[in-house]
Amino acid sequence: MWDYSDTVMDHFRNPRNVGKIENPDGSGTVGSLACGDALTLMFKLDENKCITDVKFQTFGCASAIASSSALTEMLAGKTIEEAEKITNKDIAAFLGGLPDQKMHCSVMGREALEMAIHNYKTGETIMKQLDDHIVCTCFGISENEIRRIITENSITNIEEVTNYCKAGGGCGMCQSDIQKIIDQIESDKATTTPPPQSSPNKKLTNLQKIKLIEEVVEREIRPRLQKDGGDIELIDVVGNQVIIAFRGMCAGCQSSGFTKQDFIEAKLREFVNPEISVTEEEK
């Protein structure tokens, strides 16, 4: 069993402020059934713009429920400005700490709060950051989110990033990208110079792009597949869609739909263009 604090177990066993609010002033939802946890947070303000009523509903493990319940207690009576200052570390501290692998529960609380405040301010129900690119496709975690987690919690390794926001904990293909972000933040700290562009996307001509894809296939992808007795053939490139065919052992291999395609896509995104998608040639 997990080493949960008494406060965590108390909030899990007797969650405070469970439910919904009719016509809330702010409402936010994060997570999904697929992720394994989700939280909906709602609040209502009084005439002094203080949070008078706050309610939550959570799908998740004991610490997810406890983190949500704790957050509602922390929010009661606070102004929006005060609420905005609550971090995931505050939630974890309120609970007397969380196991490392469960820190993402506190992050989920902070995210739902942020979403609810955003909803209060703008009336929108989702926060779209168009310039933000998704690093971990398994859990849909963006680069900005990972940067924030690393900076706020002084994180120095991938494992901690995974504990705090799940990024890198699925297929693991993005772990090298996460490491790059950690390294960059570390070196920024050392030099205190403004951060360089994360992935410079210089505009390539179509021919240049195809050539680059070929190079990456030769250098990064083919050797790995050949080790497993397989091979790959580049069929076509349409915009950012790369059409491939598997040869040798890879052809007809049941796992080719998952790992190999993800691997190829990850490599091409890393070295050519983050927008690239890989599909298998139709037979």
Active site residues: 35, 105
Instruction: Identify the CA nearest to 158 among candidates 175, 135, 145.
Output: 175
At position 246, the amino acid (one-letter code) is F
- What is the Cα–Cα distance from 224 to 226, expressed in whole angstroms? 5
User: Cβ 271 to another protein, closest distance in Å?
Assistant: 24
Q: Are 16 and 73 in contact (CB under 8 A)?
A: yes
Q: Are 84 and 13 in contact (CB under 8 A)?
A: no
Pairing of strands 277-280, 241-248: parallel
User: Cβ 29 to another protein, closest distance in Å?
Assistant: 4
Which one, 109 or 169, has the nearer CB to another protein?
Answer: 169
User: Cβ 93 to another protein, closest distance in Å?
Assistant: 21
Which one, 101 or 184, has the nearer CB to another protein?
Answer: 101
Applying CB under 8 A, the residues found at the interface with another protein are 1, 12-13, 15, 18, 20, 27-29, 32-34, 36-40, 57-65, 101-102, 115, 119, 125-126, 139, 162, 166, 169-170, 228-229, 249, 253-255
User: Cβ 254 to another protein, closest distance in Å?
Assistant: 6
Which one, 96 or 229, has the nearer CB to another protein?
Answer: 229
Which one, 58 or 88, has the nearer CB to another protein?
Answer: 58
Which one, 126 or 207, has the nearer CB to another protein?
Answer: 126
User: Cβ 173 to another protein, closest distance in Å?
Assistant: 14
User: Cβ 185 to another protein, closest distance in Å?
Assistant: 23
